[in-house]
Amino acid sequence: MYKCNQEGCIRDFDGSEKFRQHLKRVHSIPDVIHQFSFNNASDIPISDDITPVLNLPEEVVNTNDGSLHSDDIIGTNEVNYFNRSFEDIVSNCALQFITKLYTNPNVTESLMQEIVDGATELFSSGIISNLKTKIMPHLFNSNKTEIAEIEKILTVLENPFSKFRTEYKRFKYFETNNLFSKPKTVVIGFVNQQKIVSGVERQIMEQVQGHLFPIKNNLKRFFELPGVYNAANEFISYSENSDLLSSFIDGTTWKNIKKNFQNKIVYPIFLYFDDAEMGNPLGSHSGVHKMGCVYYTIPAIPPEYLSALENIFPAFLFHSTDRGEQKINNKTLFSSLITELIDLQENGISICVNSTNITIHFALALILGDNLGLNSVLGFVESFSANYYCRICCCPKSQMQNMLIESVNSIRNKENYESDVQKNNVSETGINSYCVFNEIPNYHVTDNMVCDFMHDVSEGVARYDMALIINYLINNKYFSLENLNNRLMLFEYGVTESKNKPPTISKTNLNNNCIIMSASEMLCLVRYFGLIVGELVPLGTKIWELYISLRKIVDICCARVLQRECAFQLDSLVSEHNKLYLYFSNSSLKPKFHFLTHYGRLLLKNGPISLTSSLRYEAKHKVLKAYANSIPCRINLGHTLSHKLQVQMIHRFLIQKGLELDLKVGSCLKMITSEDFNINFFSSLPNEFKSDTFSVPWVNFKGVQYKPGMLSIIDIDLNGCIFGEILYILVNKSRMPYLVCKLFLTVGFDRHFHAYEIEKYNERESNLIGCYLKDLKDSTPTTLRVLGNGKLYASLRYAL
């Protein structure tokens, strides 16, 4: 690898040819070159500062797409090879090559063996021996020691995978170096199976197995990664001293738990449960290979890292068909997992950070999942047509079907829960069995309550609301379905929503009063529906109030930082929303509408609603499904999947990839000089950006992409948001991009469109402003949209 430091350039290249082309294309000096002859070429003022970068993993230094990563990442993972033997260097490179392949779900163990054997054969088939014959004659001036050293180097290159040639050697090395711990196979019961033994069909008892991951060891390795422990500590300290709700740490649930851990370091842990189909869900064997998946996350790390799939860890796998009161009950099924969680809370893990031994305890804070999954593992009734289906309150179905606000007197608590369990009557209480997770200290199903925004709103309430609203508007001739679908297809969603564009809406969905879309697509439709058709809907249209109330609920539920008073506002919005739905639908409220009445309470208890959503956890299912699709054999699928998921972590532990500053920058477009701006603005630039500065076409920071032409939120005042259109993205050695934006005048917030109306400044006015990317008031950019009336609008993805 080569890093270009020419004139402040910060790009990296994986070969001298690419680096040479970059120098010619970007740093060529044609006017100077013509002044020098070939003999004077050495006088051309091109920097010799070319730094070789060795042993960096592909995801850290990846220049195939013309991008680069931050120096923070490179500095974390860079290895000093100069004090190591050549054999160790080759072995380390081979090891990283192998572990990187293991992260690919399509690479089976047999394919891995073929790759290792093929690569070994490639080097040993004559390439190195021919290289020897070419090199050795030129070493006549070298002494015997130097010649022997070169011969040894070439011999090592002939077999770079000598230590990892077989599967046994590879996993022996992984286990010896504490990179891999085998998941534990737990016998959770026995079932009768018909098998042919010695030609005779017999009934035999077969073990039912679950697969428990080494949670303590994985957490230890994770928190010993560079920067992870410090990031968690700093984030918790910041949250505890904040009056705002920005994470689970700010909620009352965690504050009550932490009181029981005086003078101890304790972090919360979230469990997530869901069933995932590993085969074809429409095939003849659908359901046979459905797996029950339990994942966990640590909400002590900042939210921008929490959503990364690599920070969602597997905890327990089992076959879904094995679970059930008539088969294996929750107490037996989850006993090994519960024992592990109790151990984590009481004894914790011991990590070594900066030569200091630290003990961290982990307390189970919440169990997440969809409504059916939560009701099943927490012991509540698994039918939402039951009389008492709510996990949070004891209201009967007849009352919940018309409920506008939460019934405070009906909230479940430890006392009435114990009383209901004693009744042992599910039709009168909604409780199927005692919650097995109540055995864990500081956890009780009535205290640690949660709802799932993804299934309640995105795949629930919004589907019914939008169908009702669109049907009403079409029936009243405001627009046709064809007109609506044309507007959906032609609307400018922008880069941030490019992957979430809603599909066209079918007449069948409208007739069924339920629009079927993915959660992300439905959220996108709700966010921009006002701008898509708002100009066709007259002011004062009554059903538009239902849309506005839904839009405001989505705003608050998706917000990243909120004031505590927003909980009362959310209760008021839900009450208004449910009242409007009852009026326009002429039907009763469905269960998911009832769950909304508890959201104000849950906001105060658990922090931002979006942080307890299932959205990112369901994305983790894709990893399991990818592994399952690459496995031709379905015998003991849980064992194979647990093994592969654990192996996937090896590469991260090996390269010590912690919570790095996730920054990628596009290829340099031009060098910025004082001639690009007026003198007043150029003088206001930070000194570091007045020289050796380049503009780039895009930048990706913490998973969010920024491009010129996007709108960013520069500031927030009493009149609302102040928007700026990105003109330039400046980069230099500081590695923190600087945005040059053209300000817009905010006219005000238009309630009908649920968007800000903005205007351009007078061309004669100086309206340029600059700011560091990290200093934006909100990290999510938006897009400028022009409606039919010629006015400019900008909408937000969530409340600020």
Cα–Cα distance, 341 to 339 (Å, whole number): 5
Q: What is the pLDDT of residues 477-510, one digit of tens each?
A: 999 999 999 999 999 998 889 899 999 999 999 9
Alpha helices in 534-689 (DSSP H): 544-558, 566-585, 591-596, 599-606, 615-629, 637-648, 650-655, 679-684
Residue 122 reports pLDDT greater than 80 = yes
Query: 3-state SS of 161-210?
Result: CHHHCCHHHHHHHHHHCCCCCCCEEEEEEEEEEEEEECCEEEEEEEEEEE
Amino acid at 408: V
Average pLDDT over residues 583-597: 96
Residue 35 reports pLDDT greater than 50 = no
Q: Mean pLDDT over all residues of the chain? A: 87
pLDDT of residue 635: 84
* Cβ atoms within 10 Å, residue 687: 6
Residue 598 three-state SS = coil
CA distances (Å), 502 to each of 274, 472, 475, in order?
26, 20, 22
Residue 505 makes CB contacts below 8 A (sequence gap 6+) with 470, 481, 484, 485, 488, 515
pLDDT of residue 74: 34
Average pLDDT over residues 740-761: 94
Cα–Cα distance, 453 to 450 (Å, whole number): 10
Q: What is the pLDDT of residues 602-625, one digit of tens each?
A: 999 999 999 999 999 999 999 999
Residue 13 reports pLDDT greater than 80 = no
Cα–Cα distance, 603 to 246 (Å, whole number): 10
**Chain centroid to CA 151:** 48
Q: Which helix (H) or strand (E) holds 216?
A: helix 215-223
Average pLDDT over residues 367-393: 95
**Residue positions counted in the chain:** 800
Minimum mean pLDDT range among 143-157, 361-375, 636-650: 143-157
Cα–Cα distance, 101 to 654 (Å, whole number): 13
pLDDT of residue 572: 97
Cα–Cα distance, 202 to 712 (Å, whole number): 70
Q: What is the pLDDT of residues 690-736, one digit of tens each?
A: 888 889 999 999 889 999 999 999 999 888 899 999 999 999 887 78
**Per-residue b/e over 4-42, b at no fewer than 16 CB within 10 Å?**
bbbbbbbbbbbeeeebeebbeebeeeeeeeeeeeeeeee
Question: 116 — phi, psi (to 5°)?
Answer: -65, -45
Residue 78 three-state SS = coil
Cα–Cα distance, 11 to 5 (Å, whole number): 8
Q: Which tokens sit at 83?
A: 């004090």
Taking CB atoms within 8 Å and a gap of at least 24, the contacts of 613-616 are: 613/452, 613/453, 613/454, 614/272, 614/274, 614/368, 614/369, 614/370, 614/452, 614/454, 614/455, 615/454, 615/458, 615/519, 615/520, 616/306, 616/307, 616/309, 616/312
The rounded radius of gyration (Å) of the Cα atoms in the chain is: 30
pLDDT of residue 190: 86
Average pLDDT over residues 459-467: 97
Cβ atoms 607, 463 nearer than 8 A:
no
pLDDT of residue 154: 85
Residue 51 reports pLDDT greater than 50 = no
Helices 519-533 & 481-490 angle (0-180, nearest 10):
110
Q: What is the band of 69 on the pLDDT scale with cuts at 50, 70, 90?
A: very low
pLDDT of residue 56: 33
Residue 59 reports pLDDT greater than 60 = no
Residues paired with residue 194 on neighbouring β-strands, in sequence order: 203
- Structural domains for the chain: 2-173 (no CATH), 211-379+433-451+614-655 (no CATH), 381-432 (no CATH), 453-612 (no CATH), 663-794 (2.30.30.490)
Q: Which helix (H) or strand (E) holds 273?
A: strand 265-277
Cα–Cα distance, 421 to 293 (Å, whole number): 27
Amino acid at 730: L
Minimum mean pLDDT range among 245-249, 545-549, 671-675: 671-675
Cβ atoms 626, 641 nearer than 8 A:
no
Minimum mean pLDDT range among 148-157, 372-381, 717-726: 148-157
Q: Which tokens sit at 73?
A: 């990442």
DSSP code for 693: -
Cα–Cα distance, 508 to 467 (Å, whole number): 11
pLDDT of residue 663: 84
Q: What is the band of 77 on the pLDDT scale with cuts at 50, 70, 90?
A: very low
This prediction has a pTM of 0.86
Average pLDDT over residues 186-215: 87
Rounded (10°) CA dihedral 299, 304, 310, 314: 30
pLDDT of residue 16: 58
Q: What is the pLDDT of residues 630-677, one digit of tens each?
A: 888 888 899 999 999 999 999 999 999 998 777 888 888 888 888 888
Question: 101 — phi, psi (to 5°)?
Answer: -65, -35
Helices 144-158 & 128-135 angle (0-180, nearest 10):
160
Q: What is the pLDDT of residues 291-302, one digit of tens each?
A: 999 999 999 999
Helices 519-533 & 462-475 angle (0-180, nearest 10):
30
pLDDT of residue 82: 54
Q: What is the pLDDT of residues 520-539, one digit of tens each?
A: 999 999 999 999 999 999 99
**Chain centroid to CA 131:** 47
